[in-house]
Amino acid sequence: MRNPVQDYLEQIVEQCGAAGGEVAAYIPELAAADPDRFALCLATVDGQVYEVGQAEHRFSIQSISKPFTYALGLHDQGVETVARKVDVEPSGDAFNEISLAPGSGRPKNPMINAGAITATSLVAGDDEDDRFGRALDWFGAFAGRELEVDEGVYGSELATAHRNRAIAHMLREFEILEDDPEEVLRRYVRQCSIAVDTRDLALMAATLANGGRQPRTGRQLLEAHLVEHVLSVMTTCGMYDAAGDWVSAVGMPAKSGVSGGIIGVLPGQVGVAVFSPRLDAHGNSARGVALFERMSRDMEMHLMHVS
Ligand code: GLN
């Protein structure tokens, strides 16, 4: 028997066809992506996964790593220590803006690069390999499988990371970073280069929807009280300078990445992920945004929805 959720997803994918937009080109390796690849996955908190399109096509996670790195920083250091280093205010700026608070240098939030580089520095470990290994294991635990780095994307991004390098050194100057900024930059770029598929992302989102417990493995990864902090900054800051439009039109915590992914979290219910590499002017997947708007409307997913 056909499943109504599966039928619905297939139908909206057909109706919300190719939106415009361009593939990100500032990371050379990303410019080579096939702009018309597509996948949509929905994972429920009880571990059901629905898929449309190329759900197992892998791509680098990019900025969708940010909420998970922030989560690991909170898990390792606690809310107060993290809050001293990075704020939770929407910046209204683009993702790569060099926006540090005057005087303190504290980044506005962990969803823009300055704040995400700071969150990366808060991951505990003995040395660079140990700290990165912990992050890779953490991401894998959310996805429910072992993940690896796309070394091609890593090399390509690190070689051209002038802006992120400048941000890391500014953060060191303000003593927001306390150690070698190059070490933190390498780990930040490596995290962004972790290869995932759309199914992984839906399960990572569903783990947040499920209060920090991975729906399929049953492992409690992130303390439930910290999930709230992560979902809050995703709501206010996850879609960069389009966060206000997103909250109005879609109304759920979300995070996008320049490789073309978007995750959305409906607390207590589902994690959703879309992959489509053509980006709009804010750097968010154009078809991804269109699909989320549609799903939110049809399925009354908007958190502020009153029926
Ligand atoms: N690695 C990318 C960068 O730092 C991530 C940006 C993004 O996905 N928006 O520029």
ipTM: 0.95
pLDDT band at 60 (very low <50, low <70, confident <90, very high): very high
Q: Do the domains at 4-60+195-299 and 63-192 have one common CATH topology?
A: yes
Provide the terminal-to-terminal Cα distance of the chain, rounded to the nearest Å.
30
HSE-CB of 220 using CA atoms within 13 angstroms: 7
Give SS3 for 104: coil
71 touches 86 (CB < 8 A): no
Q: Per-residue pLDDT for 16 more than 90?
A: no
The residue assigned the tokens 């209204």 is 92
* Strand partners for 273: 41, 263
**pLDDT tens digits for 117-160?**
999 999 999 999 999 999 999 999 999 999 999 999 999 999 99
Both tokens of residue 223? 């303390």
Write out the binding residues for substrate. Answer: 63, 113, 157, 164, 188, 240, 258
Both tokens of residue 258? 């320049």
67 touches 230 (CB < 8 A): yes
Q: Indicate the CATH number for domain 63-192.
A: 3.40.710.10
pLDDT band at 243 (very low <50, low <70, confident <90, very high): confident
How high is the pLDDT of residue 114?
96
How high is the pLDDT of residue 241?
83
251 alpha carbon – ligand 1 mean position (Å)? 23
215 touches 207 (CB < 8 A): yes
**pLDDT tens digits for 179-202?**
999 999 999 999 999 999 999 999
Is position 66 annotated as part of the catalytic site?
yes
% the chain with pLDDT above 90:
83
Pocket of ligand 1 contains residue 260 by CB under 6 Å: no
Instruction: Work out which ligand 1 atom sits closest to the CA atom of 163.
Output: 10
pLDDT band at 240 (very low <50, low <70, confident <90, very high): confident
Give SS3 for 142: helix
Domain ranges of the chain: 4-60+195-299, 63-192
How high is the pLDDT of residue 32?
87
% the chain with pLDDT above 70:
99
86 touches 107 (CB < 8 A): yes
Pocket of ligand 1 contains residue 120 by CB under 6 Å: no
* DSSP, res 47: S
How high is the pLDDT of residue 73?
98
Give SS3 for 187: helix
Which strands make up the sheet holding 194-196, listed edge to edge? 59-60, 194-196, 148-149
Given 45, 66, 70, 121, the catalytic residue:
66
How high is the pLDDT of residue 30?
86
Indicate the length of the chain as a whole number: 307
Pocket of ligand 1 contains residue 236 by CB under 6 Å: no
Helix (H) or strand (E) holding 191: helix 181-192
- C-alpha separations of 299 from 39, 186, 278, 294, 302 in Å: 19, 41, 25, 8, 8
Residues 6 or more apart from 162 whose CB is under 8 A from it?
none
Closest by CA position to 186, among listed 172, 170, 165, 169: 165
Give SS3 for 55: coil
The residue assigned the tokens 């898990």 is 75
Q: Which CATH architecture has domain 4-60+195-299?
A: 3-Layer(aba) Sandwich (3.40)
Taking the whole predicted model, whether its pTM rises above 0.95 is answered as: yes
